[in-house]
Structure 1
Amino acid sequence: MIQTSLRRLALATVVASACTTVFAQSADYSKLGTTLTPMGAEKAGNAAGTIPAWDGGLSKPPAGFDANKGYLDPFANEKPLFTVTAANMEQYKDKLAPGQMELMKRFPTFKMVVYPSHRTAAYRADIYKYAKEEAGSIKLAEGGNGILNLKKSNVPFPIPTEGVQVIWNHIMRDLGGSIHRISADFPVQTNGSYTLGKREETIAFASYMNDPEPNRIFYYMNKTLAPANAAGEVALVHEPLNQVQEPRLAWQYNPGQRRVIRAPELAYDSPGIGADGLRTNDDFNAFNGAPDRYNWKLIGKKEMFIAYNNYKLTSKDLKYSQILGQSHVNQDLVRYEPHRVWVVEGTLKPGARHIYSKRVFYIDEDSWTILHGDQYDSRGGLWRVREVFGVQLYNAPTFAQAGEVIYDLQARRYLVNALTNEEKPVEFGTKYSVADFSTAALRRVGR
């Protein structure tokens, strides 16, 4: 009996020692910039050769680039490797998310055209510098609902060990320091009809500003330009870094009343502005805001077909009507590639309220961008499927989106966000001050 207990104790000690060793290896920050990229991705390609090694990405515009004419596609002459449809998806199911397979089952015209993989994600040198300098010193706040000890880094957890850390990497990821853009949104009905929504957005990351307030990730201003019945509404958000210490600060300007009011409802699962009930506020940008209502489980990494290098979708020659189909976007315009992604499953905490009982996100290892999401209703049924059309915006440089879409499987409608084909070029890198995101500035923008 004693010998058996001793053997069990010895085995437990070996297992514990092995786990400790694995954790120590996974948290070896000296690997950043060597065997790992500066962002924490595996620098090497995969064994099959279908995913290449990262060689620095695409950080400079090609010759002849003119922002007014749109992005030049460095892969325009490539031919597809194959196309995944409902007829052959079982052959590729290990590289697909449940939501992708469900879309192919429900809509016979939904397909995924797969091209060779290119790891183009690249950022400014200071993004890499701060990611390595601060790695290991940044900690999660109580319950994972915030970050402590962060100074300038946009990648708080380049070698994550918890699901919520991956979510924070997505929330914090750099988008060019600051962005100013006009973009179009389209809620598409079951018969293919749609209403144009248009917004003017400005976002400035605190790490890129000279005078940010303490405890800030970014500042965000959104002015509705269309449809006419909502034009002139403006929302302002100050996003805290530690949301245990301070929840999201939000205000709205109502053009009818000509006054600024606090808007604490601009968070979680309240209906998103201009979305016709097809997304929540925390659906925007794939996921945003406080992560505290979910338990986030780190499932691990997998190889997957995701929408990547979608330069074709950014073309200024495209009209919005060419992108929007009846049941889904024009899949001939969407480019899929094999890439490695982190898989994180968020399950609603007991007693917490949200319309989604579970969310499963697939996050690009090179950019920490959520590029696919499956979201489930209160009965556990797959409800909304999200696709983000990733693209490397080499003039910033940053990895962002050519647009994103949410398919509502129950309503059989979908919502497209963040299209810029018929708009002015997106502006990156403007230096903003806190005064640009004050309530007085909100009032001025509204008027």
Structure 2
Amino acid sequence: MKYNKNVLLGGLVALSMAATPVLAAVSASEAARLGKDLTPFGSEKAGNAAGTIPAWTGGLTTPPAGYEGSGQHHINPFPDDQPLLTINASNANEHAEQLSEGVRAMLETYPTTFRLPVYQSRRTHAVPQWVAENTRKNAVNATIVGDGEGLDGAFGGYPFPILSGDSEEKAWQVIWNHLTRWRGVSVTRRASEVAVQSNGDYSLVTSQQEAFFNFYNPEGGEEDLDNVIFYYLSFTQSPPRLAGGAILIHETLNQIVNPRNGWGYNAGQRRVRRAPNLGYDSPIAAADNLRTADDTDIFNGALDRYNWRYEGMREIYVPYNNYLLGESGREYSEILGGSHLNPDLTRWELHRVHIVEATLKAGERHIYGKRRFYVDADSWNTLLVDQFDGRGELWRVTMGMAKNYYELPGVWTALDVFHDLQARRYHVQGLDTEEPGTRVFTNDVPNRRYFSPASLRRRSVR
């Protein structure tokens, strides 16, 4: 397969109807830092002064012995690593500067059970060379359209590896880097999600998921992007009362000019219907209303209901290289604790993160009055989110349990976990250790008809 590395967006028709771009890209001399003192994706190559964050030396690109290929549950590449320390409620104040507000609240809410096993930091993120090359081109071409509504001048790589502009503009760039982050070309997976009740009870909702990341189409260009970042299909397979239902998403590059296109298939009615409200704070039934539509993927969708502010970079403990949570055959009952994941299976490391705060605009509606995002400086994955209610009280804490998918290569979350501190319940997406395999990545470019509403009913079988 030949990769087209030289194609950048020249201006989508849909975007041309929006406000003109307001954010200038960085200079060629600044972009030249990528791959030198900066990583190919824009983070600082050097470690920190204390030596607790190492220098980036290329990331993890070689699978460990015994790994046979994409779809196999991952083998832990660091089996000899042991925790350097454990942070719990009794010593949290000693590490307060390295903890997010949400993590501190988790320690206070569950003082006898929640803890952070802290391991040595390993900067495992990496990207293919063609993604690195496109990222370098994006740095001097990418622009934000309007008030964060859209993206122009970027394709096949991170749009803004080097942040520039004022606080609001930098915040938009960080979030767009998250929305368009590298996660391969095409991926399929059978996985389960659960809503864990306060007494520890849960029931599985299992689905087959398929995605094509059109923004990283290795054969494409402007004419192939057509204002779609990715196509997503999900077919519910159990429990029986939900089996046969399906959802189709076309995620757009500018959701104000052309909102997300969504369709749902109801197995009982055998009908495909538009799902125009699948966005913002629409509740997700499979999550027992513990996750909103725009919580999915840690954050997705339009930015228009919030005022955005970039708060700088910090070194904090985040979930990273969580291979124990994805080991083949590990029972879900061992992973799922009564109030949170089994902490003995989690791994936390010290990493640099960008912090972005979003505050609900006057006159706009959303169940979250404020959100604070902690975005990994290497992979641009959002790994922690603090969600506040309309009274300004911390309500929900989201965690992305990240690991390196060395077959890509690249870091992505394996499990996404949504905690409701007020209801004392939580929701988990991505459980697959009891399945025969995990995510399967390919470079295949499907026919667009495969992700059409017409094909949704044909492929939805109860």
Q: Quote the residue 2:163 is aligned against.
A: 160
| Equivalent-residue separation in structure 2 for 1:262 and 1:440 (angstroms) | 12
Q: Aligned-pair distance for 1:114?
A: 0.2
Q: Quote the residue 1:437 is aligned against.
A: 451
RMSD over aligned CA atoms reads: 1.6
| Equivalent-residue separation in structure 2 for 1:227 and 1:288 (angstroms) | 27
Q: Quote the residue 1:133 is aligned against.
A: 137
Could you tell me which amino acid in structure 1 is paired with residue 235 of structure 2?
Answer: K
Q: Is the 8 A contact 1:154 1:169 kept in 2?
A: no
Q: Is the 8 A contact 1:208 1:431 kept in 2?
A: no
Could you tell me which amino acid in structure 2 is paired with residue 51 of structure 1?
Answer: I
| Equivalent-residue separation in structure 1 for 2:212 and 2:72 (angstroms) | 25
Point out where structure 2 has 5 or more consecutive residues left out of the alignment. Answer: 1-24, 165-169
Q: Is the 8 A contact 2:156 2:216 kept in 1?
A: no
Q: Aligned-pair distance for 1:257?
A: 1.0
> What do residues 182-219 of structure 1 show as CA deviations (whole Å, max 9, x unaligned)?
11111000100001111111111113434635111111
Q: Quote the residue 1:3 is aligned against.
A: none
Q: Aligned-pair distance for 1:132?
A: 0.3
Q: Secondary structure at the match of 1:130?
A: helix
Q: Quote the residue 1:91 is aligned against.
A: 94
Q: Quote the residue 2:348 is aligned against.
A: 336
Q: Quote the residue 2:82 is aligned against.
A: 79
1:260 aligns with 2:272: yes
Between 209-218 and 74-83, the greater mean CA deviation after superposition:
209-218
Q: Quote the residue 1:16 is aligned against.
A: none
| Equivalent-residue separation in structure 1 for 2:83 and 2:158 (angstroms) | 33
Distance 1:278 1:327, change over 3 A: same
Q: Aligned-pair distance for 1:97?
A: 0.6
Q: Quote the residue 1:299 is aligned against.
A: 311
Q: Is the 8 A contact 2:193 2:428 kept in 1?
A: yes
Q: Is the 8 A contact 1:26 1:159 kept in 2?
A: no
> What do residues 291-325 of structure 1 show as CA deviations (whole Å, max 9, x unaligned)?
11111111000000011001111101311010011
Could you tell me which amino acid in structure 1 is paired with residue 129 of structure 2?
Answer: A
| Equivalent-residue separation in structure 2 for 1:154 and 1:245 (angstroms) | 23
Q: Aligned-pair distance for 1:394?
A: 0.3
Could you tell me which amino acid in structure 1 is paired with residue 201 of structure 2?
Answer: S
> What do residues 252-291 of structure 1 show as CA deviations (whole Å, max 9, x unaligned)?
1111111111101111100124100100010011001111
1:178 aligns with 2:204: no
1:382 to 394, 397, 419: 394
Could you tell me which amino acid in structure 2 is paired with residue 222 of structure 1?
Answer: S
| Equivalent-residue separation in structure 2 for 1:98 and 1:334 (angstroms) | 19
> What do residues 353-382 of structure 1 show as CA deviations (whole Å, max 9, x unaligned)?
110000101000110000011000010100
Could you tell me which amino acid in structure 1 is paired with residue 438 of structure 2?
Answer: P
Q: Quote the residue 1:413 is aligned against.
A: 425
Q: Aligned-pair distance for 1:69?
A: 5.2
Q: Quote the residue 1:239 is aligned against.
A: 251
Could you tell me which amino acid in structure 2 is paired with residue 206 of structure 1?
Answer: N
Q: Quote the residue 2:195 is aligned against.
A: 187
Q: Is the 8 A contact 1:294 1:347 kept in 2?
A: yes
Q: Quote the residue 1:44 is aligned against.
A: 46
Could you tell me which amino acid in structure 1 is paired with residue 127 of structure 2?
Answer: Y
Distance 1:214 1:101, change over 3 A: same
Could you tell me which amino acid in structure 1 is paired with residue 203 of structure 2?
Answer: T
> What do residues 402-435 of structure 1 show as CA deviations (whole Å, max 9, x unaligned)?
2121110111100011122112231102332211
Q: Aligned-pair distance for 1:26?
A: 12
| Equivalent-residue separation in structure 2 for 1:63 and 1:329 (angstroms) | 28
| Equivalent-residue separation in structure 1 for 2:212 and 2:127 (angstroms) | 16
Q: Aligned-pair distance for 1:101?
A: 0.8
| Equivalent-residue separation in structure 1 for 2:157 and 2:340 (angstroms) | 33
Q: Aligned-pair distance for 1:59?
A: 1.4
| Equivalent-residue separation in structure 2 for 1:24 and 1:446 (angstroms) | 46
| Equivalent-residue separation in structure 2 for 1:55 and 1:26 (angstroms) | 24
| Equivalent-residue separation in structure 2 for 1:298 and 1:105 (angstroms) | 27
1:271 aligns with 2:267: no
Between 354-363 and 427-436, the greater mean CA deviation after superposition:
427-436
| Equivalent-residue separation in structure 1 for 2:439 and 2:296 (angstroms) | 18
1:146 aligns with 2:153: no
2:128 to 124, 141, 154: 124
Q: Is the 8 A contact 2:138 2:160 kept in 1?
A: no
Q: Is the 8 A contact 1:141 1:244 kept in 2?
A: no
Q: Is the 8 A contact 2:305 2:361 kept in 1?
A: yes
| Equivalent-residue separation in structure 2 for 1:175 and 1:128 (angstroms) | 13
Distance 1:111 1:25, change over 3 A: farther
Q: Quote the residue 2:113 is aligned against.
A: 109
Distance 1:286 1:301, change over 3 A: same
| Equivalent-residue separation in structure 1 for 2:62 and 2:277 (angstroms) | 40
Q: Secondary structure at the match of 2:229?
A: strand
Q: Aligned-pair distance for 1:24?
A: 7.3
Could you tell me which amino acid in structure 1 is paired with residue 253 of structure 2?
Answer: L
Point out where structure 1 has 5 or more consecutive residues left out of the alignment. Answer: 1-22
Distance 1:27 1:168, change over 3 A: farther
Report which of the two structures shows the higher radius of gyration computed on alpha carbons: 1
- For residues 275-354 of structure 1, the aligned pairs below 5 Å read 275-354=287-366
Q: Is the 8 A contact 1:213 1:434 kept in 2?
A: no
Q: Secondary structure at the match of 1:31?
A: coil
> What do residues 153-209 of structure 1 show as CA deviations (whole Å, max 9, x unaligned)?
331111123101100100100111111001111100010000111111111111343
Tell me the TM-score normalized by structure 1: 0.92
| Equivalent-residue separation in structure 2 for 1:37 and 1:48 (angstroms) | 20
| Equivalent-residue separation in structure 2 for 1:24 and 1:369 (angstroms) | 22
Q: Is the 8 A contact 1:236 1:437 kept in 2?
A: yes
Tell me the TM-score normalized by structure 2: 0.89
Distance 1:202 1:69, change over 3 A: closer
Q: Is the 8 A contact 2:255 2:301 kept in 1?
A: no
Q: Secondary structure at the match of 2:174?
A: helix
Could you tell me which amino acid in structure 2 is paired with residue 72 of structure 1?
Answer: I
| Equivalent-residue separation in structure 1 for 2:257 and 2:296 (angstroms) | 23
| Equivalent-residue separation in structure 1 for 2:401 and 2:385 (angstroms) | 12
Q: Aligned-pair distance for 1:246?
A: 0.9
| Equivalent-residue separation in structure 2 for 1:279 and 1:425 (angstroms) | 23
